[in-house]
Amino acid sequence: MEAYIIAGYRSAVGKAPRGGFRFSRADDLAATVIKHVISTVPSLDPSEIDDVIVGNATPEAEQGLNIGRLISLMALDTDKVAGVTVNRYCASGLETIATAVAKIRAGMADVIIAGGVEVMSGMPMGGWKIVPNPDIARQHPDWYWNMGLTAEAVAHEFKVSREDMDTFALQSHQKAMAAIKAGRFKKDIVPITVKEQYIEEDQLRVREYVVDTDEGPRADTSLEALGKLKPVFAAGGSITAGNSSQTSDGAAFVLVVSERKLKTLNITPIARLVSFSVAGVPPRIMGIGPVDAIPKALKQAGLKQDDLSLIELNEAFASQSLAVIRALDLNTDKLNVNGGAIALGHPLGCTGAKLTVQLLNELERRHQKFGMVTMCVGTGQGAAGIFERL
């Protein structure tokens, strides 16, 4: 039994920790997006949903307590629909879609909401209490390296120059600004009203504003400006804030149904997930994960790179993006055509679902058939999912 995506939306991506969602909770953000997704399919009774699968890379504090179940309760106005939280770091949002599709194909469910959310504004990178295994930390310290150090290792091992990284970063901003000016993300994004309390002149005041545009892209950036930034992670290194993905806040979800439910709802599907693969690579160069994951996904799908019209490669860092592009000889004319995470942001557990929504709408705009979402994943992994527009 085939599974189909029939709706998908995302929030705008807010800059963390000072953007429009800086005081928003992840559960509120996700619930708002899901409510909109459900509202676009009025023939579906929310109580018919079998599960809500939520990707989240730091499931603790405000994002803890099985946030997936709490989001289900908040978004669907019923306690009959279950919820679960999934963590594959940067691939969490894509993993949930693959899980939903697999469960439906196996006959375990007919309707699943899948996606992810991350509000990085109030969350330290890695979480509030990191407790490495002491023996492993001595034997394999690189298993616990922060992502910036792995990006430095990739730049060194794959000979990616600082100049090439900064040029790649500039192009990401330029493409993202062009996409925003052309309104290409309008169909993706659910405008979200934020109510904020603050103190002014010893008085409690309230203001409201709407977040409906990605906050990361900068029209004023330049190679000169990027070149002046200092390395962040290593003395004498080449990874800067300008050629790295931005910490971000956001949520994105899709609605996946079985062929049986599709007929009952009498609705036209948007797309289907053709294949999904993950792969392991050395943690110290985790950024090359897509190099192993992409060929596996293509083989599963019975496709070649030339069959893909669009590729969304998550720009965790310019160094790893360029290493992947060069290793697989990816067609840059098809890659991140509307910019990537260096400009648009990377809300960790949300990103895979966010890129899926973005990809499907761009495939529709261009009347093209196959596209891929792929990313590197912390601790040495890669993930890739191939979608077919219907």
Reported as a single tens digit per residue, the pLDDT across 9-61 is 999 999 999 999 999 999 999 999 999 999 999 999 999 999 999 999 999 99
Neighbours of 130 (CB within 10 A): 9
The pLDDT of 146-157, averaged and rounded, is: 96
User: Does an H or E element contain 383, and which?
Assistant: strand 381-389
Beta bridge mates, 118: 250
390 pLDDT above the threshold of 90: yes
Neighbours of 199 (CB within 10 A): 8
Q: What is the pLDDT of residue 126?
A: 87
Cα 339 from chain centroid?
13
200 pLDDT above the threshold of 90: no
Helical segments of 216-350, H only: 223-227, 259-265, 289-301, 318-328, 341-344
225 pLDDT above the threshold of 90: yes
> pLDDT tens for residues 296-353?
999 999 999 999 999 999 999 999 999 999 999 999 999 999 999 999 999 999 999 9
- The label of the residue with tokens 């790649």 reads 168
Q: What's the CA gap between 276 and 270, in Å, rounded?
A: 18
> pLDDT tens for residues 91-148?
999 999 999 999 999 999 999 999 999 999 989 888 999 999 999 999 999 999 999 9
- Residue 205 or residue 274, greater confidence: 274
Q: What is the pLDDT of residue 209?
A: 96
Q: What is the mean pLDDT of the chain?
A: 97
Please answer whether residues 314 and 330 qualify as being in contact, where contact means their C-beta atoms are separated by less than 8 angstroms: no
Q: Which residues are catalytic?
A: 90, 346, 376
Residue 230 DSSP symbol: P
Task: Tell me whether strands 310-313 and 370-377 are parallel, antiparallel or unpaired.
Answer: parallel
For the chain, the residue count is 390
248 pLDDT above the threshold of 90: yes
* Confidence bin at 149 (pLDDT 50/70/90): very high
224 pLDDT above the threshold of 90: yes
C-alpha to C-alpha distances, 298 to 57, 60, 99, 276, nearest whole angstrom? 26, 35, 18, 9
Q: What's the CA gap between 382 and 207, in Å, rounded?
A: 42
At 189, give phi and psi (nearest 5°): -95, 135
Residue 229 DSSP symbol: P
At 157, give phi and psi (nearest 5°): -70, -35
Grouping H, G, I as helix, E, B as strand and the rest as coil, residue 335 is: strand
Q: pLDDT over 70 for what percent of the chain?
A: 100
198 pLDDT above the threshold of 90: no
Q: What is the pLDDT of residue 1?
A: 87
User: Does an H or E element contain 245, and which?
Assistant: none
Name the residue among 382, 381, 379 with its Cα closest to residue 142.
379
170 pLDDT above the threshold of 90: yes
pTM over cut 0.85: yes
* Confidence bin at 186 (pLDDT 50/70/90): very high
* Confidence bin at 160 (pLDDT 50/70/90): very high
The pLDDT of 168-189, averaged and rounded, is: 98
What are the tokens at 337?
């055509």
Q: What is the pLDDT of residue 362?
A: 98
Q: What is the pLDDT of residue 125?
A: 87
